[in-house]
Structure 1
Amino acid sequence: MNPDGVPRKTLFVAGAGRSGTSTLAGITSKLGMHVPEPEVPADASNPRGFSEPQWVVDLHDRLLREAGVQVSDSRPSAWFETGRIATREPLRIRVSDWLEGHFEVHPELVIKDPRLSWFLGLWRVAAIRTGATPVYATMLRPPAEVVGSKQKYYANKLGSAHLAASWVNMLLHTERATRESVADGGRVFVRYEDLLDDWVKTVMHVGHALDIQSLIHTRSDQIRAVHRFIDPTLRRVNQSLDDLALPTRLHELVAETWGELNKLADEGGDTPEAHTALDQLREAYTELYEEAEAISRSSAVAARVKALNEAARAPEPAPEKPSLADRVPHDVRAKIPPSVRRAARKALGRER
């Protein structure tokens, strides 16, 4: 594809981590879209690469630390904390300037990071300010597989219930944050299973639905590169919700959310009726979380008390031993000529 004259477009690949976002972003990159460099290097958890701009990951890490939000945060209130930061004008200018620099390389960018959903509003504003059209692809993978994959590769110690709840929190709010783009055909939902089973059909649908020229006009060598990139064994975790042993109401909410989100991936499934059902699920999850939070408040207090007690019992650092110069009386040191003192400090490797 000749990029000259192609309108600017930014594809934001959203969704929970370990749901296939790296696979989709990697495919779009090999078909001609531009992943801003440098990229996060591959590792054992993702040997084919993450297709994530390092600058974006570093920015999101700093913002999440400031907001006091985890990447997999199950609190509905966490969206308020990140949203408050994302409305800062200096931050919007900084992100817009960064995007502008990469549009000089290619008019169609792909931005992917598991932390991205927390700041979709920030990126939408930044993209529009550069004259680009923001479009979204949200990956859908069975929640039990997402939970199992995080436990396997990230050594997560917070348990299945926490990870399942954070999946519900992430996906329901991601859906709501991208809903305003429905009218202009600016979002799609992609099943990870569909992507692995028939990537050509799935990605061509994404390209035509979002009008991404790099995906519509591909070369045979690019297609061969994707065939080499796609590995059906990438789906290395297979388990069901029953394997997670979740609390009953949470189990029901996860199952209902997965069912409703799947409708969005069907042709013509992104309807007002589906939006209403998802709004009701988001409200139900918020109520469930607030109930659980109220009941477990004693556990939170106990954890804080335990941390304070452990800090109080920590041994104090040993005092520093006085240096040889400190042992010399001040009136004696004052009689030593400055040149001699400087020479002595230099011999001892000291600046002062």
Structure 2
Amino acid sequence: MSARGRRAVLVLGMHRSGTSALARLLNLCGAALPEALVEAAADVNATGFWESRALLALHDEILAAAGGSWHDLRAMDAGWFASDAAAVFRARLGTLLASEYGAAPLLLVKDPRLCRLLPLWRPVLAELGIEPLVVLAVRHPLEVAASLRVRDGVGEGKALLLWLRHVLAAEQDSRGMRRAFVTYEQVLADAPGMVERLGRELGMDWPRAPEVAAAEMRAFLSPALRHHERDADEVLGNTAVPWEVREAYRWHIAAAAGEAPGDGLDAIAADLAVAEPLFGGALAALEDAARTRAAELRHWIDSAVERYEAIVTLRAFIEHQQREIDRLAAHARAIESSRMWRTMAPVRQALRRWRGRGEMK
């Protein structure tokens, strides 16, 4: 327990790994949500994201300041976390936590970007006297890849490397902290039992016992929450999936089962560290080209929208003028068919003859 008795449950997991469902289950057992949540999205996450809108925006700003993004395949520069820019963000993060959570004794923090930003968080929580309790969530990497393809159009190769980057960073940077591992299958199979286990492994009692919240948990969970379902052997026994991904997934399954999987992730991280200088420059060039192309596409779309809006405005004007013409024509026909118009016909004829004689002179 921290000196001030406050704790923060940090849910770490790659995007599309079931962290939203897990966060809601922990919230049902008493962990406090932030003040302003990201709105649910029917086509992405209809049951809610259960994460702070302001914190998500700050995380994106931090990643951009560090020269990356949530979908950057390169490792974060460890030296950046000791920079003056990082110090500014630490101060902002502390202020944001106070505004989003107030004096809540048990905070619930969930954002997949946290996997890569934990070194920024640790000193902030220490300064605030908040003890971090880490829950590392893992999902079948091919399921994650399929979900990312639907949501973001990310190809499978990039998605698998992103998955690997996130799980490696989360595991490495959370060492020395109280932590527990969980798979997406465990989240869906027995939510009350899973949350109770997490509490034991984190050395805490939930403010609301899982058995008390069990009915609400089961009502929240649904088989429909799981899309792109794959069997574990589709990764573990699939030589088309990179060895590093297979081994990292095997390691996390063992950790979530309470086994001691050893230091296999260090070897994987070392492999990536050796390989990154080879592909890092090429990736940077490709990402720069992609950003340039995206900017050109946005400009083209904006121009097309402006032209379309001008056409719509012109069409509306033409249609308005046509309606005026039709109205005046109908009015003229009504006059021509009136009794007064017929009565005045001799007068009009006399006027035409008189005008004719005047023109002849």
Quickly name the TM-score band, shorter chain normalised.
Answer: 0.7 to 0.9
CA RMSD of aligned residues (A): 3.4
Structure 1 residues 248 and 83: alpha-carbon distance in aligned structure 2, compared to 1, 3 A threshold: farther
Post-superposition offset of 1:130: 1.5
Gaps of 5+ in 2: 304-361
2:31 is matched by which residue type in structure 1? M
Q: Is the 8 A contact 1:31 1:214 kept in 2?
A: yes
Higher helix proportion, which one? 2
Partner of 2:271: 284
Deviations along 1:276-322, one digit per CA (max 9) or x if unpaired, are 2111111112333433446x589749948x86xx79xx9xx9xxxxx
1:141 is matched by which residue type in structure 2? R
Q: Is the 8 A contact 2:195 2:210 kept in 1?
A: no
Larger Rg: 2
Q: Write the distance in 1 (CA, Å) between the matches of 2:51 and 2:283.
A: 38
Q: Is the 8 A contact 2:196 2:210 kept in 1?
A: no
1:227 aligns with 2:214: no
- Partner SS for 2:115: helix
Structure 1 residues 58 and 86: alpha-carbon distance in aligned structure 2, compared to 1, 3 A threshold: farther
- Partner SS for 1:214: coil
- Partner SS for 2:176: helix
> For 1:160, which of 147, 156, 177 is the aligned residue?
156
1:111 aligns with 2:118: no
1:238 aligns with 2:229: yes
Structure 1 residues 303 and 39: alpha-carbon distance in aligned structure 2, compared to 1, 3 A threshold: closer
Post-superposition offset of 1:217: 3.2
Partner of 1:196: 188
Q: Is the 8 A contact 2:4 2:129 kept in 1?
A: no
1:171 aligns with 2:170: no
Matched positions, count: 294
Post-superposition offset of 1:23: 0.8
Deviations along 1:79-116, one digit per CA (max 9) or x if unpaired, are 43763569733322332233344554420000001111
Partner of 2:328: none
Q: Is the 8 A contact 2:17 2:138 kept in 1?
A: yes
Q: Is the 8 A contact 2:141 2:163 kept in 1?
A: yes
Partner of 1:262: 253
Structure 1 residues 191 and 85: alpha-carbon distance in aligned structure 2, compared to 1, 3 A threshold: farther
1:130 aligns with 2:128: yes
Q: Write the distance in 1 (CA, Å) between the matches of 2:266 and 2:245.
A: 14
2:255 is matched by which residue type in structure 1? L
Partner of 2:65: 66
Which range moved further: 22-31 or 85-94? 85-94
Q: Is the 8 A contact 1:18 1:149 kept in 2?
A: yes
Deviations along 1:238-266, one digit per CA (max 9) or x if unpaired, are 2469989xx96862111111112222212
Structure 1 residues 302 and 148: alpha-carbon distance in aligned structure 2, compared to 1, 3 A threshold: closer
Q: Is the 8 A contact 1:141 1:191 kept in 2?
A: yes
Gaps of 5+ in 1: 318-352
TM-score, scaled relative to structure 2: 0.71
Matched residues, percent identical?
26
Q: Write the distance in 2 (CA, Å) between the matches of 1:51 and 1:240.
A: 27
